[in-house]
Amino acid sequence: MNKFWIILFHTYVSKLKTKSFIITTLITALIIFGLANIQTIIDKFDEDETTHVAVLSESDELYQAYEQTLSAMSSDIVIEKMEGAEENAQERVTNEELTGYLILTESSEGLPEGVYKAPSITDSEITGQLEQALQQLKVTIATTKAGLTPDQINQLYAPVQFDKVALEENAKSEEELNQARGLVYVLLFVIYFAVIMYANMIAMEVATEKSSRVMEILISSVSPIKQMFGKILGIALLSLTQFAVILLVGYGSLKQSMGGMEGGFFEVFGFGDLPVSTFVYAGVFFILGYFLYATLAAFLGSLVSRIEDVQQMITPMTLLIVAAFMIAMFGLTKPESSAITITSYIPFFAPMIMFLRVGMLTLPTWEIALSIGLLVITITLLAIFGARVYRGGVLMYGKSSSFKDIKKALQITKNDK
Amino acid sequence: MALQLENVTKRFGSFTAVDNLSIEIPEREMFGFLGANGAGKTTTFRMILGLLDASDGRISWDGKKINYDTSHMIGYLPEERGLYPKMKVRDQLVYLARLRGMQKQDILKQIDYWLERFKVPEYATKKVEELSKGNQQKIQFIASVIHKPKLLILDEPFSGLDPVNVELLKEAVVDLKNEGTSIVFSSHRMEHVEELCEHLCIMHHGKPVVHGSLKEIKRSFGKKNVIVHADFDISHLKTLAGVTRVKETAEGLNLQVESEQISQKILDSIVGKGFVRKFVLEEPSLNDIFIEKVGASYE
């Protein structure tokens, strides 16, 4: 087998077997599974709690009207009319037979009034529904008293007609934009974390080999270039494995609980109709971003002599990723601003910001192609340059670890004739 | 099959690490490559391994340039221990040997053979970081010879080992040599070099200052050692003409003299003055030659 593949699979398999990898993957999958089923989980806890509210009312008529209004709201509060003194109701509340009780009275103008009493009034859902029902009842009574016909009342309360039309062709509607924003937000986070995590992993891997001096043996059997790219691709394979697991779990559990999440938590994040193209772009931009930063991390890692210095060395790189993420976060609210458009062509920002634009706006193909093209060219240049630094860097041992070492590393491999 | 270095020079910017070095190491030969720290040994090794390009001159193995196509024929034991600390010994050796182009079946057989030979078969499933320095060194040695290299570079192979284990490794090195491996041996332990190498080279500031066969080097060095132990005061010997170096010991004096003739003058000057318990005329040790040529003290 080619030595490149030996290195690739060795990197992949040995990282795959590490406890930290297995644990992170499991935890992430669990969180995804939990999120996907959050509606089910919440419902599960709520199931056995039906709300019983007793109503103390002087007039039957008022109670009847109130019950009708409440049931018309399809509320799950069960009310019952209760005769007798307030003390009885209080006792039943103490015995936990009732959630609370409502005292309905009529004011001097003949409008309904209510007092709700319960051990705790923190559940705003119950009080809100009770209040809303009473409010509606009051409006009906008051308008009838004012002599309006039901038709007039309906007219009064009908919502106003208001439509929004985007003049630009293909522009996304406000609703679509909101949906896209949620999904892009989540995927941006994924790209951000994944790029930082895996680029770090590469730098650590290189620095570990260097500081344990196993590097000298490795480079005497395999060329540093093969070694560097074997490693980068091995870790890429690792990241894809992790994503595959997470995506499978996520997709599976989303499909399963798709029915139960109408109008729920997911609508907010725009998972209603999963747009496949956004996921594909997320994948493409993650891979490009990974290669860009992994190459950078590999040659930065090759410059340090001790593992302790790795973080210091790659801090500027990490800051670059953080900056890209910050700009992208700003862009979520203003994806069309010119700052976002410009930065989406800068290779170090493009993986996140171009993805943001692709996910939120409808872009002409050439813009996407241009950004990806620039990114690919930068990766290639960085790989060629990085490989040269790496070749010298792995041979260098010294106290200092600074960017001046890049020059030194290049000098080592240079042929001084 | 021979390793040839012809007028090899390596410059880093304005600094010359190796200056016009020419050596030839035939098959079945162990070549001592000596020098103080920073004399250019590691740079030379890296050039032989193809990790660095020579600025001038030519390095060839069997007439061909050494590169990654020939790496399965080359073994390297670097001075600094280099193993994955968290990896198990067997996995580690399998990985490193596969990178030298070996097949897995052969590797496993060889691992068993070598661990058995070095009396550490129980370490196969242990992590390297759990082993003592000496045992790590054995594993490192196995990693450099498991693929039966034709050219083996050993940089301080015996450091950190107790005398019993030094013998164990020395035997293995000699066996390899007898099987036809050319070995470049670097050490600061001159007695090991004297014992194992027929030819050697001493580097100083990138230049070879001594080069040739061990016998030849000793003969041409000229100076001899005289050891005198006596019951009376022999301090006048220190200032005798022709004595170039004096070392006082608990029992007497170790003198370095310019030539054999001086030893006779020393003998004349002490005969009849009292009881002489020891008088020895010796060949200079490699240690003496090294100190003389490199001018630094070494242990």
ipTM of the modeled complex: 0.77
Largest CA distance in chain A: 109
Q: Is the pLDDT of residue A268 over 50?
A: no
**Phi, psi of B125, deg, nearest 5:** -105, 10
CA B219 to chain A, closest CA, distance in angstroms equals 38
Instruction: Judge residue A20's burial from the number of C-beta atoms within 10 Å of its C-beta, 0-12 exposed, 13-18 middle, 19 or more buried.
Output: exposed
The larger pLDDT score, comparing residue A409 to residue A161, is at A161
| In a shared domain, residues B45 and B83 | yes
Share of chain A above pLDDT 70, in %: 87
Per the domain annotation, does B67 fall within a domain? yes
| In a shared domain, residues B125 and B234 | no
CA B137 to chain A, closest CA, distance in angstroms equals 13
CB B93 within 8 A of CB B111: yes
Of A97, A111, A16, give the one whose Cα is nearest residue A59.
A111
Residue span of the structural domain in which B242 resides: 223-283
Q: B51 vs A214: CB contact, 8 Å cut-off?
A: no
| In a shared domain, residues B254 and B110 | no
Query: Tokens 């930082």 appear where?
Result: A196
Among B11, B53, B76, select the one facing A217 at the smallest CB separation: B76
pLDDT of residue A140: 81
Helix, strand, coil tally for chain A in percent (to 5) = 70, 5, 25
The CATH superfamily holding the domain A51-157 is Periplasmic binding protein-like II (3.40.190.10)
CATH, residue B266: 3.30.70
- At B175 the three-state DSSP class reads helix
| In a shared domain, residues B78 and B166 | yes
| In a shared domain, residues B250 and B135 | no
Per the domain annotation, does B212 fall within a domain? yes
For chain A, domain boundaries: 51-157, 171-413
| In a shared domain, residues B268 and B138 | no
Per the domain annotation, does B195 fall within a domain? yes
Q: How far apart are CA B17 and CA B53, in angstroms?
A: 13
CB B23 within 8 A of CB B5: yes
Q: A213 vs B80: CB contact, 8 Å cut-off?
A: yes
Instruction: Judge residue A177's burial from the number of C-beta atoms within 10 Å of its C-beta, 0-12 exposed, 13-18 middle, 19 or more buried.
Output: middle
| In a shared domain, residues B122 and B197 | yes
| In a shared domain, residues B42 and B174 | yes
| In a shared domain, residues B123 and B55 | yes
pLDDT digits (tens, 9 = 90+) for B78-121: 888 788 888 899 999 999 999 988 898 999 999 999 999 998 88
Q: Is the pLDDT of residue A297 over 70?
A: yes
Chain centroid to CA A85: 54
CA A302 to chain B, closest CA, distance in angstroms equals 15
Structure tokens at A101: 């009780």
Using the 3D structure, point to which of B200, B218, B236 is the last residue of a domain: B218
CA B79 to chain A, closest CA, distance in angstroms equals 10
Query: What is the reported pTM?
Result: 0.73
Distances (CA, A) of A148 to A113, A144, A153: 22, 6, 7
The larger pLDDT score, comparing residue A278 to residue A177, is at A278
| In a shared domain, residues B68 and B195 | yes
Per the domain annotation, does B296 fall within a domain? no
Residue of B nearest to A221 (CA): B71
| In a shared domain, residues B66 and B103 | yes
Show which residues on chain A lie within 8 Å of chain B, measured between beta carbons: 1, 3, 6-7, 10, 14, 208-209, 212-223, 395, 411-413, 415-417
CB A107 within 8 A of CB A113: yes
Q: How far apart are CA B147 and CA B73, in angstroms?
A: 8
Number of independent structural domains in chain B: 2
Q: B100 vs A221: CB contact, 8 Å cut-off?
A: yes
pLDDT digits (tens, 9 = 90+) for B255-294: 888 888 888 888 888 888 888 888 888 888 888 888 877 7
Task: Give B127's DSSP letter.
Answer: B
- Section A309-318 average pLDDT: 88
Q: How far apart are CA B202 and CA B210, in angstroms?
A: 5
Q: Is the pLDDT of residue A31 over 60?
A: yes
CATH, residue B46: 3.40.50.300
Mutation for A interface: B99, B144, B152, most A CBs within 10 A:
B99
Helix or strand holding residue B11 (H, E): strand B2-12
Q: How far apart are CA A164 and CA A248, in angstroms?
A: 38
Residue of B nearest to A210 (CA): B82
Per the domain annotation, does B248 fall within a domain? yes
Q: How far apart are CA B2 and CA B181, in angstroms?
A: 10
